[in-house]
Amino acid sequence: MKILVKRTSNLLKAALLAFFVLGFSSTSFGQDGSYDDDYGDDDYGDYDDSYSDDYGDGDSSSNGDDYGDYSEDDYDDYGDSDYDFGSSDKDEYTPKKIIRKPYVRFIPPYDSVRELVLYKAVVEVKDRDGYEVEIDTINFRAHQWLEEEYGKELKKVILIDDVNENAGEFEYKVKIHATFPCMIAPNEFTQVENGQVEYDLEIRVRDGRYRYTVKNLVHIAPPRPGEKDGERTYFEYLMKTEDDIREGDKILIAADQKINSMMSDLQRICQTNPVEEEDDW
């Protein structure tokens, strides 16, 4: 009898143990092997809500708003800009062709009748009250400029300095045959001497005005090794030739700048109003 009770007790314990094991299994794992009870609705449920709010379509998360703004604004910008490679309404990007403008050569003042490169102008000279300055005063000021420009070389370069007997009215005439250095400017900070420019200058003075003429311009290149004189090239040839156009223009431009500077100085000195003397009475 005792043995039977003991066996029954053992079977009952085994049955209870199996029940608890099977019950734990059925409550912890579902049929598909997923967690159903302890890790199902509480912890992972909250985690899923947070994850969906942060990265999904939820409206309460700031991260969701940021990603929404980025897709609407930034991607729209890229779509409407020049970097829109996916737009079907626009042509594919093609690099722009570099168009080089044709070189425009320098044209100095030119007398087509005489076929000469020629600088000339008639300049009126008046006093502070608007009256014409007398011929002797203008002639005196012109000689002041000649002395400043040529210095000790003035006597060597003057060909004529006298009254012009052939003029229609009384006038003085000065004629100069001289040279100046041909200073070419590779850039705005440097200048390089490239030979000399030979020219004839004529100044004719009358009451209230003077006329200057610069002509017979010739470029004298630096002498080659073993040679005494450099090659001479008239400006008319430099202006028309198709050989070494840019090099020829450099010479023409250098001479143009020098001549205009000289004539500006001449005008400034001839136009200078005399200083009135103080009244000693």
Q: What is the pLDDT of residues 183-218, one digit of tens each?
A: 998 888 889 999 999 999 999 999 999 999 999 999
Q: What is the pLDDT of residues 145-181, one digit of tens each?
A: 999 999 999 999 999 999 999 998 999 999 999 999 9
Looking at the chain, the number of H-run helices and the number of E-run strands are 8, 8
Residue ranges of domains in the chain, CATH in brackets: 2-80 (no CATH), 110-271 (3.30.530.80)
Distance CA 93, CA 98 (A): 16
Distance CA 256, CA 199 (A): 12
CB 54 within 8 A of CB 66: no
Report CA dihedral (14, 15, 21, 22) to the nearest 10 degrees. Answer: 150
Tokens of 175: 């004629």
pTM comes to: 0.64
Q: What is the pLDDT of residues 94-153, one digit of tens each?
A: 888 888 888 899 999 999 999 999 999 999 999 988 999 999 999 999 999 999 999 999
Over 60: is that where the pLDDT of 20 sits?
Answer: no
Instruction: Give the ranges where the chain is alpha helix by DSSP (H).
Output: 2-28, 43-55, 62-69, 75-80, 135-150, 154-157, 235-240, 245-271
Residue type, 120: K
- Chain-wide mean pLDDT for the chain? 78
Per the DSSP assignment, residues forming a β-bridge with 161 are 174
User: When comparing pLDDT for 47 and 14, which is higher?
Assistant: 14
Q: CA 22 → CA 16, 26, 39, 201, distances in Å?
A: 10, 6, 18, 126
